[in-house]
């Protein structure tokens, strides 16, 4: 009989509560002499998808990477349920990038390699690889070199790979901006499924329609700051800031 | 012109009759260079991969030195190893001078920078694409190095073949540390040097032709590997 | 096709390819051998190929010859990177022993130097019996002359001759006096290529394969006499020297048997080396 306080290998820390809300306070990020994130405050709760939107150069991708720990802030705090970022927390997150990043090996090997990096043992790995490929609809391509897949298939694979890690928080940086509508739909279906299973999804998107379809709340950024943070309907119907209004009307936000 | 014709005739004759002297020399050349390249590959992959991934003060300088060492003259490498292995040198007790092992050591010194610098470049190129994703997956620096090395395997093969080309064709290093001793440390290149100095031009050329044939085979393999990689989208 | 390249297969293939040569290189260190530091001219003459097998057959000791310039041979021996040294530069050899690096110097054999050149003979030296007279004529005619320029025994003998002729050819270095800084064979190649006269030992010349339109022009002058000496490297200075086997070689070389072997070496019927070891030394 297992001692219930012993962490179970393979199930990750999903038994524990997800590390949310995440509180960002006075966040600053400077690079190349420029202040890209300029004193940013925001709080993201669990439940539902959060979309981050804004004009180019607003700092959305940077914010995502700061949250995921890929870059280190110049100043300010990011607290996950009161804790600062550490290795354990990092293992409970995953990210999908704008362009699919796949290794020069087979479809299955790509998923397996990622699981290996997270320390998942071989037998468990095989099971998760199978599940991931099923999820992405790529079982038939298990031994195909991943890089010969189409753009849509590659991105599905990247998403399935991220989900196989069983993260609590999933970041996506414009995952469908270069995909055709069919592929986009497939990705969105996967995201909805993941959200239903309790994964918190934070998504940067340019696609207003996508945000309306998926998001529960929208964070609007401009010039390194959060200008507005509203529930989805409120944001699209009654934007509170000039910037958001201009953005939604298709104008240039300067 | 007659020398060239004689050379081809001689070369053909040597090959067809499987001249035992030739076989011995050829075998030693391959033994020395293949072993050296094997060792240099292990070192070069590790150094190149580490340089690409790990950040430390002086990293740029080390990379520059490694690249510069690609141009290390073989005779200088030979001199360095000679000074180390000589009886009055620090490693004299090993009694390795004038043995194939000394030749391997010298060639390892020559080839490692080539493989190392090319590996570093390959890994850096791959890292540009993979860095964020791998760190997102939680890979340690060491795991990243291993991932890049395997992923860049076709470029690494190219680097190894380049290193082999350098090793099999050099004469300066093996001459000094090997001593060109008959039946012991005489390789293709030192034999060519010897026959040339004896005025046996046709024989020297014949050996040269054979050496070129090996170099050609190396290059053909290189092109073949690259084509295969492209076809399988592994490039 | 893809399955053929799966990771395990590649690793196994690589391991086999890499281990095969490594395993066979395993130092089959046959301990019964000595290293003799000698000169390229002696090596190129083919003498060693003729006499060494006889020594090995008798004693079972393998002789590994490292053939470099005289200067390098003595330097290597000074470093203890050889058990015996066999060169042809008496003053240097005597200094070697005097400095304590060698046990004792023994005369072994002599051959002679000759001056070779194009049969067209621009300086008109063919047939002269006086070597320094020939050199004077070459200097006056400013005819191209290739020198080894490498501090070897041959080179030093050549410089000595110029001195006797009262000429300093190095002033014209790069002009008509070409210093190749190379071994005898390479220098001969250069001489032939540039239609230059050159000073060489007869042994290397006879076995040289690229004579082109060259011939022996000056020979027989007693000043062209080239003496070889053999010395055992001093084990007191370098304990790792194989003194017993090295001495066995020195003894054999100066013994009646060794001397006979030297005398029996011929090229085109011509004897190259004339044994002159003095008994009891």
Q: What is the pLDDT of residue A28?
A: 94
CA C105 to CA C110: how far, in whole Å?
Answer: 14
DSSP summary character for residue A165: T
CA distances from C41 to B194, B223, C186, C205 (A): 11, 44, 11, 9
Sort out which chain A residues have CB atoms less than 8 A from B133's CB and list them. 95, 97, 101
Q: For residue C79, give how far its alpha carbon lies from the nearest alpha carbon of chain A (Å).
A: 54
- The domains found in chain C, sorted by start residue, are 33-111+227-275 (3.40.190.10), 112-224 (3.40.190.10)
Q: What is the pLDDT of residue C234?
A: 95
| A114 in reach of chain B (CB within 8 A) | yes
Looking at the 3D structure of chain A, how many domains does it have?
Answer: 1
Q: Is residue A138 part of a domain?
A: yes
Task: List, as ranges, residues 84-143 from B with C-beta within 8 Å of A.
Answer: 129-130, 132-139, 143
Which tokens sit at C157? 């003998």
Q: For residue B152, what is the nearest residue in chain A, using CA coordinates?
A: A104
Residue A13 belongs to a domain: no
Percent of chain A residues past pLDDT 90, beyond the cut: 77
Q: What is the token pair recorded at A180?
A: 């055709």
Task: Go through the domains of chain B in sequence order and give each one's CATH number.
Answer: 2-231 (1.10.3720.10)
Model confidence over C78-90: pLDDT tens digits?
A: 999 999 999 998 9
* A2 pLDDT above the threshold of 80: no
Q: What CATH number is given to the structural domain containing A32?
A: 3.40.50.300
Closest-CA residue of A relative to B232 is A145
CB pairs under 8 A between B and C: 86
Q: What is the mean pLDDT of residues C57-62?
A: 94
- CA distance to partner chain C, nearest, from residue A112 (Å): 14
Q: How confident is the model at residue A94 (pLDDT cuts 50, 70, 90)?
A: very high
Would an 8 Å CB–CB cutoff place C3 in contact with chain A? yes
Q: How far apart are CA A241 and CA A226, in angstroms?
A: 11
Chain A residues whose CB is inside 8 A of the B130 CB are 101, 103
> Which of B130, B137, B141, B234 should one mutate to test binding to chain A, selecting the residue with the greatest count of A CBs within 10 A?
B137
Q: Which carries the bigger pLDDT value, residue B194 or residue C246?
A: C246
Shortest CB distance from C21 goes to which of B31, B95, B150? B31
Has residue A9 been placed in a domain? no
A124 near A10, Cβ under 8 Å? yes
Residue A6 belongs to some domain of the structure: no
Put simply, whether A12 touches B (Cβ < 8 Å) is: no
With beta carbons less than 8 A apart as the criterion, state whether C217 and C115 touch.
yes
- Structure tokens belonging to residue C26: 């395993």
Whole-number pLDDT of residue C217:
94
Note whether residue A60 is domain-resident: yes
Please indicate whether, in this complex, the C-beta atoms of B132 and A113 are within 8 angstroms of each other: no
**Distance separating alpha carbons of residues A151 and B116, to the nearest angstrom:** 34
With beta carbons under 8 A apart, name residues in chain C contacting B95: 240
CA R_g for chain B: 20
Those residues whose C-beta lies under 8 Å from the C-beta of residue A149, and which sit 6 or more positions away, are A102, A107, A138, A141, A157
Helices marked H in chain A: 60-68, 87-90, 107-117, 122-136, 151-164, 181-196, 208-214, 232-237, 242-248
Give the per-residue pLDDT at B154. Answer: 87
Hey, is the C-beta of B228 within 8 angstroms of any chain A C-beta?
Answer: no
Mean residue pLDDT across chain A: 90
- Which tens digits make up the pLDDT trace of B164-207? 999 999 999 999 999 998 888 999 999 999 888 887 888 888 88
> Is A87–B138 a contact, with Cβ atoms under 8 angstroms apart?
yes
Task: Tell me the residues of chain B between 142 and 201 that have a Cβ less than 8 Å away from chain A.
Answer: 143, 147, 150-153
Q: Which residue of A has its CA nearest to B235?
A: A104
Q: Which residues of chain B have pLDDT under 70?
A: 1, 233-235
Q: Does residue A11 lie within any of the structural domains?
A: no
Picking from A103, A118, A165, the nearest residue to B151 by CB comes out as: A103
With respect to residue A231, please indicate whether it lies within any of the assigned structural domains: yes
Residue A37 falls within a domain, yes or no?
yes
CB–CB contact B135 A91 (8 Å)? no
Residue-level pLDDT at B233:
63
Say what the pTM is: 0.82
Which pLDDT score is estimated for C202?
87
Residue C17's nearest CA partner among B228, B111, B223, B35 is B35
Retrieve residue C63's tokens: 């002789």
The percent of residues above 70 in pLDDT, for chain C, comes to 88
Judging contacts by C-beta atoms under 8 Å, the chain B residues touching residue C80 are 86-88, 92
Which chain B residue's Cα is nearest to C83? Answer: B87
Task: Give the 3-state DSSP-derived string for chain C, with helices as H, strands as E and coil as C.
Answer: CCHHHCHHHHHHHHHHHHHHHHHHHCCCCCCCEEEEEEEHHHHHHCHHHHHHHHHHHHHCCEEEEEEECHHHHHHHHHCCCCCEEEECCHHHHHHHHHCCCEEEEEEEEEEEEEEEEECCCCCCCCCCCCHHHHHHHHHHHCCCEEECCCCCHHHHHHHHHHHHCCCCHHHHECCCEEECCCCHHHHHHHHHHHCCEEEEEHHHHHHCCCCCCEEEEECCCHHHEEEEEEEEECCCCCCCCCHHHHHHHHHHHHCHHHHHHHHCCEECCEECCEECCCCCC
> Lowest mean pLDDT: which of A10-24, A63-77, C233-247?
A10-24
Does pLDDT of A5 surpass 50?
no
Q: Domain containing A65: what range?
A: 22-248
């Amino acid at each position: 009989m297992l001692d219930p306080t012993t962490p179970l290998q393979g199930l990750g820390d999903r038994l524990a509560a997800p590390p949310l809300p995440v509180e960002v306070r006075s966040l600053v990020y400077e690079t190349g002499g420029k202040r890209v994130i300029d004193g940013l405050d925001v709080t993201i709760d669990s439940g539902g998808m959060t979309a981050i939107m804004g004009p180019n150069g607003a700092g959305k991708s940077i914010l995502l990477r700061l949250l995921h720990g890929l870059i280190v802030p110049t100043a300010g705090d990011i607290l996950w349920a009161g804790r600062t970022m550490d290795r354990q927390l990092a293992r409970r997150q995953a990210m999908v990038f704008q362009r699919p990043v796949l290794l020069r090996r087979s479809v299955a090997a790509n998923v397996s390699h990622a699981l290996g990096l997270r320390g998942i043992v071989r037998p468990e790995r095989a099971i998760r690889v199978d599940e991931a490929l099923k999820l992405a609809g790529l079982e038939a391509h298990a031994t195909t070199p991943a890089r010969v897949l189409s753009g849509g298939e590659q991105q599905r694979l990247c998403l399935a790979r991220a989900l196989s890690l069983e993260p609590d928080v999933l970041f996506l940086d414009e995952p469908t901006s270069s995909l055709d509508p069919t592929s986009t739909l497939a990705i969105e279906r996967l995201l909805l499924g993941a959200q239903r299973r309790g994964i918190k999804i934070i998504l940067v998107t340019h696609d207003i329609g996508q945000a309306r379809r998926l998001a529960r709340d929208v964070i609007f950024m401009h010039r390194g700051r959060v200008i507005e943070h509203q529930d989805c309907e409120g944001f699209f119907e009654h934007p509170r800031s000039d910037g958001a209004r201009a953005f939604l009307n298709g104008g240039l936000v300067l | 012109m007659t020398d060239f014709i004689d050379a081809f005739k001689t070369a053909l004759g040597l090959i067809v009759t499987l001249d035992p002297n030739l076989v011995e020399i050829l075998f030693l050349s391959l033994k020395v260079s293949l072993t050296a390249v094997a060792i240099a590959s292990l070192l070069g992959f590790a150094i190149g991969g580490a340089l690409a991934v790990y950040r430390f003060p002086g990293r740029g300088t080390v990379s520059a030195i490694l690249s510069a060492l690609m141009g290390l003259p073989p005779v200088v490498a030979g001199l360095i190893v000679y000074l180390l292995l000589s009886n009055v040198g620090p490693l004299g007790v090993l009694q390795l001078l004038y043995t194939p092992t000394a030749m391997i050591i010298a060639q390892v010194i020559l080839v490692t920078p080539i493989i190392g610098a090319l590996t570093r470049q390959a890994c850096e190129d791959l890292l540009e694409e993979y860095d964020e994703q791998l760190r997102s997956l939680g890979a340690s620096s060491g795991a990243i190095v291993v991932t890049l090395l395997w992923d860049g395997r076709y470029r690494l093969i190219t680097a190894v073949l380049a290193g082999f080309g350098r090793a099999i064709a050099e004469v300066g290093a093996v001459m000094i540390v090997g001593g060109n001793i008959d039946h012991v440390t005489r390789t293709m290149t030192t034999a060519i040097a010897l026959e040339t100095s004896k005025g046996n031009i046709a024989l020297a050329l014949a050996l040269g032709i054979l050496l070129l044939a090996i170099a050609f085979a190396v290059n053909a393999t290189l092109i073949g590997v690259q084509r295969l990689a492209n076809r399988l989208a592994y490039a | 096709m893809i399955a053929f390249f799966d990771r395990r297969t590649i690793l196994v293939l690589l391991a086999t390819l890499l281990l095969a040569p490594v395993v066979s290189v395993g130092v089959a260190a046959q301990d019964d051998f000595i290293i003799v530091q000698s000169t390229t001219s002696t090596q190129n003459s083919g003498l060693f190929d003729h006499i060494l097998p006889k020594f090995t057959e008798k004693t079972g000791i393998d002789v590994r010859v490292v053939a470099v310039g005289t200067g390098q041979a003595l330097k290597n021996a000074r470093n203890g990177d050889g058990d015996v040294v066999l060169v042809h530069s008496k003053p240097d050899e005597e200094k070697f022993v005097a400095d304590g690096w060698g046990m004792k110097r023994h005369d072994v054999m002599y051959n002679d130097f000759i001056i070779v050149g194009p049969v067209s003979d621009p300086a008109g030296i063919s047939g002269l019996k006086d070597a320094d007279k020939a050199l004077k004529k070459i200097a006056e005619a400013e005819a191209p002359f290739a020198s080894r320029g490498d501090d070897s025994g041959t080179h030093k003998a050549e410089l000595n001759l110029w001195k006797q002729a009262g000429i300093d050819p190095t002033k014209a270095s790069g002009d008509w006096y070409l210093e190749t800084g190379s071994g005898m064979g390479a220098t001969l190649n250069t001489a032939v290529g540039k239609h230059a006269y050159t000073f060489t030992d007869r042994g290397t010349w006879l076995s040289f394969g690229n004579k082109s339109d060259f011939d022996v022009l000056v020979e027989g002058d007693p000043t062209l006499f080239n003496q070889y000496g053999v010395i055992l490297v001093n084990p007191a200075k370098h304990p790792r020297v194989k003194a017993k086997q090295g001495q066995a070689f020195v003894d054999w070389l100066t013994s009646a048997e060794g001397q006979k072997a030297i005398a029996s070496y011929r090229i085109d019927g011509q004897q190259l080396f004339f044994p002159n070891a003095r008994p009891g030394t």
